[in-house]
Structure 1
Amino acid sequence: MKSHLTTPSRTATLAYGAIGIILLLIAWQWGSTKVVSKSALPSIPDVVSALRELVVQGSFWIGVALTLVIALAGWAIAAVAGVALGIAIGIFAPVQAATRILLEFLRPIPAIVILPLAMMVFGPTTKMGIFLVIFGVMLPITAQTAAGVESVDPVMRNTARSFGMSSREILWRVILPGASPYIGTAMRVAAPVTLIMAVVAGMLGGAPGIGNALSVAQTVGRSDTLFAYVLVLGCMGMATQAASVSIERRLLHWHSSYRGEQS
């Protein structure tokens, strides 16, 4: 059966998005007038005023920079290690057998559970935040990469081998191109998670960055400042997601699935 649903134009999509934001702001402002305590849900003007106070402070931008450093450094390390391990798991049966139980054991453990151990080892430092980010995103990247390698048609590998290609050439010319959509998806999904982990490391573990500033604002009862930081984090998350999608499309524009999206 043919679907009667039509894809809205870019203008319509932007219009619907703007309507959704406006409705959310109206609900927010209405809610701030109905709560018993103004500190529980500050009004939009109060949050905007607190945001203006933040952006002129050097400590605010230092916190933003540290949060991004923790997120990006953890993401980069997890990407390199996760892709390498995923390729090894997908290619070599002994590696898959040796790591299966360990990965299945670690998979359901939330990264936040490792936070007390990370604090004991690293203390409330940038290294602790980076470690938490790595733990939070490396396993999904590894699993996706391994799935991508295993999805490559064995006939293609055998054909490449019959043409005299070395194992290294098969890896670079057959396996990695075939697994690249899986790897690209893993990187895109992991990008906003790194920001979440960096913030959690600051809020609960005392690592430097916006998360730590959020915890301080909550402690001193500055809900307007807390909500201002939440807005900043939302904008950072949107920017991170948009950047990861753009990079993914640029790097994999040659693949058939991405050419289909662009046409």
Structure 2
Amino acid sequence: MAATVELTPTESRAAPSAGWPGRLLRRGTAIVLFLLIWELVPRSGLVDRVFLPPFSQVAAAWFTLVGNGQLPLHLGASLARSVTGLGLAVLVAVPLGVLVGWYRPVAEALEPLLELFRNTAALALLPVFVLLLGLGETSKVSLVLFACAWPILLNTVSAVRTVDPLLIRSARSLGLSAPSLFWKVVLPSAVPTLFTGIRLAAAASIMVLVAAEMMGAKAGLGYLINSSQFNFQIPQMYAGIVTISLLGVVINQALVAVERRFSRWRA
């Protein structure tokens, strides 16, 4: 008689049958239903298809924009501004957040000013950036920098302040110096919260940049959407909106992959 083998719960979860096909199906169902509704509602006459064209028309317009080179041009312009502003925000906000979170005198001196500026909406300052820096690239990148700095700064401060005190005491009992304590204990422990702030900032960078491009730009996804609306090229307008959504997903997944690489110790 053939022997039977029973899988433990851990082994069952690791079995191939519970792998990526099932997860992909579950995650894709909602998107497929949304696109199906988008396709059917305009065709059924519930909404005017002039103002909300079926998804198939939007997809056709998207491929047309890719084929004639317009979409890569606008996407490249927006991506360059967004990544530059986000990168500068990381370089500025992370060290400042570490100082505020780690050194109490710095926190007491800077927190009132930081609290004032973080409650100022970035888009409300767009006219100020334009007046001071003009309509060129500098004002747009600076606005993205301002918008991205606050999620990164606040999450960095929180990450440094919420490191497990037991880990710090254990490291000090082993004779680690202050720099070694920071690099080997505080910074690795802060990585998950820090990357949460960076991911929030990445989403903010796209939203703020698109709004800025709608007001004064000659290239970019915001310019594409605004120009398509004025010229009544509605499928192209929705194609630009879809591209922004896809760009946000790609950037977020890239940051998640980087976070996993820096957080492998947690496994």
TM-score by length of 1: 0.85
Measure the CA separation in 1 of the matches of 2:104 and 2:230: 52
Displacement after TM superposition at 1:17 (Å) = 3.0
Deviations 1:120-157 (A, max 9, x none): 12222222221121111211111111111112244544
Aligned with 2:119: secondary structure? Answer: coil
Alignment of 1:194 with 2:205, yes or no, is: yes
Deviations 1:69-109 (A, max 9, x none): 11111111111111100110012112101111112212232
Aligned with 1:40: secondary structure? Answer: coil
Alignment of 1:18 with 2:54, yes or no, is: no
Measure the CA separation in 2 of the matches of 1:218 and 1:144: 37
Alignment of 1:27 with 2:32, yes or no, is: no
Residue 158 of structure 2: which of 143, 147, 151 is its match? 147
Deviations 1:188-231 (A, max 9, x none): 33222222222222123436311111111111111110011112
Alignment of 1:203 with 2:208, yes or no, is: no
Measure the CA separation in 1 of the matches of 2:82 and 2:193: 21
The question of whether the paired residues in 1 share the 8 Å contact of 2:191 and 2:259 is answered with no
Alignment of 1:41 with 2:22, yes or no, is: no
Q: Which has the larger radius of gyration?
A: 2
Unaligned ranges ≥5, structure 1: 1-6
Residue 98 of structure 2: which of 87, 94, 97 is its match? 87
Unaligned ranges ≥5, structure 2: 1-12
| Counterpart AA for 2:208 | M
| Counterpart AA for 2:235 | D
Residue 255 of structure 2: which of 244, 254, 257 is its match? 244
Residue 231 of structure 1: which of 208, 225, 242 is its match? 242
Identity among equivalent pairs (%): 28
Q: Which residue of 2 aligns with 1:177?
A: 188
Higher alpha-carbon deviation: 181-190 or 141-150: 181-190
- C-alpha change, 1:253 and 1:49, in structure 2 (3 Å) is same
- C-alpha change, 1:53 and 1:98, in structure 2 (3 Å) is same
